[in-house]
């Protein structure tokens, strides 16, 4: 019996050491690696800042608050498979920061949105900002997410996310630039939450219009990039 418990202790210790090692590689290793460059001219290159206004509207479409949001790209990996970004919120003379990730490659561009306080209910339960290629009005895609710690009896533990490109405008420049409008829907036990995304080929996501099931709205709009 003593031998059994000794072997069990060794096994448990080995598993714990392996988990710690994985954590060090995934989280710690991210700080040692530069951001991945998977496209020749990324829309979101490292060390750049985008500034947005964020307007909250109540169920009667009345403006109740305006914040300032900044998105900063950082020349580091995040979780190894993503590049690191920082969201900075200025609201009521208070500044908050949040580190998360972005994916930009030849097939898709995906950004993890901010989840500060009351932003969370809009951004977590709707579609995340994303565009996929080929860019055409016939392009539709989707996925199903497990909500994990965000699940509850009302919410359920799964969310179905659907995307569709609903409009493409061409700007007559040399070379030509396109503006794309994408409709994203998040469907769960809370109902359907939508995010209408305006994407500029050079500037990135210029406007995100979030709408909750109860008609509360959040509009995040680009005002500066540098």
pLDDT computed for residue 176 by the predictor: 79
- Residue 15, sorted as left (phi over 0), alpha (psi -120 to 50) or beta, turns out to be alpha
pLDDT computed for residue 64 by the predictor: 97
SS3 195: strand
> H-helix or E-strand containing 21?
helix 2-23
DSSP secondary structure letter of residue 39:
S
> H-helix or E-strand containing 13?
helix 2-23
CA distance 64 to 180: 29
What are the CA-CA distances from residue 159 to residues 1, 79, 162, 187, 218 (Å)? 47, 23, 10, 6, 20
What strand order describes the sheet that includes 140-146?
A: 130-132, 108-111, 94-104, 82-91, 63-78, 49-57, 217-225, 204-211, 191-200, 177-188, 158-171, 140-146
CATH of domain 35-225: 2.40.128
- Mean pLDDT per block of 10 residues along the chain (226 residues) reads 49 45 44 77 96 98 98 94 96 95 96 94 94 92 82 76 95 81 94 96 97 96 97
CA distance 62 to 81: 40
Where do we find the tokens 């209408």? 196
Nearest to 57 by CA among 194, 221, 217, 220: 217
- Residue 47, sorted as left (phi over 0), alpha (psi -120 to 50) or beta, turns out to be left
CA distance 159 to 147: 7
């Amino acid at each position: 019996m003593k031998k059994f418990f000794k072997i069990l202790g060794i096994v448990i210790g080995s598993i714990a050491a392996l988990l710690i090692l994985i954590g060090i590689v995934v989280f710690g290793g991210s700080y040692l690696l530069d951001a991945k460059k998977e496209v020749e001219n990324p829309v979101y290159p490292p060390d750049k800042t985008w500034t947005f206004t964020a307007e909250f509207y109540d169920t009667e479409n009345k403006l109740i608050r305006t914040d300032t949001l900044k998105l900063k790209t950082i020349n580091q990996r995040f979780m190894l498979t993503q590049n690191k970004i920082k969201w900075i919120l200025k609201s009521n003379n208070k500044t908050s920061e949040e580190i998360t990730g972005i994916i930009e490659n030849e097939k898709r561009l995906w950004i993890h949105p901010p989840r500060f306080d009351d932003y969370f209910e809009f951004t977590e339960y709707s579609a995340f900002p994303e565009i996929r290629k080929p860019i055409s009005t016939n392009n539709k895609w989707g996925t199903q997410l497990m909500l994990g710690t965000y699940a509850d009896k009302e919410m359920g533990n799964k969310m179905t996310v659907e995307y569709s490109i609903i409009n493409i405008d061409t700007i007559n420049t040399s070379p030509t630039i396109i503006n794309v409008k994408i409709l994203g829907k998040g469907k769960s036990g809370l109902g359907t939450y939508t995010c209408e995304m305006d994407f500029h080929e050079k500037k990135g996501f210029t406007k995100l219009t979030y709408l909750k099931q109860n008609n509360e709205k959040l509009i995040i709009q680009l005002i500066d990039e540098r």
